[in-house]
């Protein structure tokens, strides 16, 4: 393994911090979207069960859009 000098290590640290921040931003956005989508999908699933229908769990568009 090659030893990094202070400049190379600082650059690597900066890039790692930026990558982590961008990933965290998208992870939080995904959590917020899932907080909206999952309860609707679950309600639709149980509504179909109550109507005697077996929902297709692979029909994601229908589950996500709530149609």
pLDDT at 66 over 70: no
**Hey, how many other C-beta atoms are within 10 angstroms of the C-beta on 55?**
16
Per-residue pLDDT averaged across 33-57, rounded? 90
pTM (predicted TM-score):
0.70
Per-residue pLDDT averaged across 39-50, rounded? 90
Cα–Cα separations (whole angstroms), residue 48 to 11, 43, 54: 54, 9, 7
Per-residue pLDDT averaged across 1-23, rounded? 96
Of 40, 32, 30, 29, give the one whose Cα is nearest residue 64: 40
């Amino acid at each position: 393994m090659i030893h990094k000098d202070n400049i190379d290590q600082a650059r690597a640290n900066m890039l790692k911090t930026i990558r982590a921040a961008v990933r965290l931003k998208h992870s939080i956005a995904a959590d917020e979207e899932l907080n909206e989508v999952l309860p609707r999908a679950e309600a639709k699933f149980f509504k179909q069960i109550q109507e005697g229908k077996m929902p297709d769990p692979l029909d994601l568009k229908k589950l996500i859009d709530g149609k």
